[in-house]
Amino acid sequence: MKLLIIRHGDPNYEIDSLTEKGWREAEYLAERMAGIHVDACYVSPLGRAKDTASLTLKRTGWAAEECLWLRELEAPIHRPDVTDRKMLTWDWLPQDWTAEPRYFLPDRWYETEIMREGHVKETYDWVTGSLDELLERHGYRREGPLYRAVRANNDTIAFFCHFGVECVILSHLLNISPMVLWHGFCAAPTSVTTVITEERREGIAYFRVNGFGDISHLYCKNEPPAFAARFRECYHNEDERRD
């Protein structure tokens, strides 16, 4: 089985849609996806993901099932350096989250007071449980850290979603703390992450990433990647965002 995890285009968060650049990115993505056979397609209910998917669906004729659990992760927390409001779970200063060793561990990252107060693990479990239900429909049943290939296949499944929830999906499939993925990886708008199963012994499957955040469809059109999900590379780069 192959999973294609696709982030939405450059977002206009105020109207939950895409910027002019985001629509161009979605168009170039649709050109790319037109050459791929997909057996099933799933999309977040949020506008920016649905708008991104719409151009691909129109071009390919695919049907997409809307899944609530593919929406951007909704588990805001009180970040250590921000006390007057809640922040996104995956947007911490490096010096804060790396100071807590549990955040690096797949079975302990959710134990801190901040994560418990934000009910982050409950939201994580809802997303990953829904993912496992879907994968079982497609022939792969979760058994501990692995999957049982009940009905092994070479199907391709596409997900149009968001960066935060993409990292949750990868965290679950690879048995890695989501904090490491949220803060150590960056998937640009309309990027495509490819995950494939390996079945080296009959019936025992594990998911493996063989392409993360691919935006070759933008490069071939001379379209630079959007800066969304990134922060300034150097502190004095004032034209790039800091927070």
Instruction: Calculate the alpha carbon distances from 156 to 68, 71, 106, 197 in Å.
Output: 21, 21, 27, 11
Mean pLDDT of 182-186: 96
**pLDDT confidence of 240, banded at 50, 70, 90?**
confident
Q: Alpha helices of 34-185 — where are they, by DSSP H? A: 47-60, 94-97, 113-117, 120-137, 163-174, 178-184
Residue 239 pLDDT more than 80? no
Residue 233 pLDDT more than 90? no
Which residues neighbour 36 within 8 Å (Cβ) at sequence distance 6 or greater? 4, 156
Residue 49 pLDDT more than 80? yes
Cα–Cα distance measured from residue 199 to residue 197, given in angstroms and rounded to the nearest whole number: 6
CA–CA–CA angle 171, 174, 176 (5° rounding): 50
* CA dihedral for 226, 54, 154, 147, sign (positive or negative): positive
Residue 234 pLDDT more than 90? no
Q: What is the pLDDT of residue 53?
A: 98
How many beta carbons lie within 10 A of that of residue 137, not counting itself? 11
The DSSP H or E segment spanning 217 is helix 216-219
- Give the pLDDT confidence of 74-99 residue by residue, as tens digits: 999 999 999 889 999 989 999 999 99
Mean pLDDT across the chain, nearest whole number? 96
Percent of the chain at pLDDT > 90 equals 90
Q: Which residue has the tokens 């609530």?
A: 68
Mean pLDDT of 41-54: 98
- Give the pLDDT confidence of 155-182 residue by residue, as tens digits: 999 999 999 999 999 999 999 999 999 9
Mean pLDDT of 13-36: 97
- Give the pLDDT confidence of 102-124 residue by residue, as tens digits: 999 999 999 999 999 999 999 99
Mean pLDDT of 69-73: 96
Q: What is the pLDDT of residue 241?
A: 75
By the 10 Å C-beta count (0-12 exposed, 13-18 middle, 19+ buried), 196 is classed as middle
Look at residues 241, 243, 217 and name the one whose alpha carbon lies nearest to residue 56: 217
Residue 242 pLDDT more than 80? no
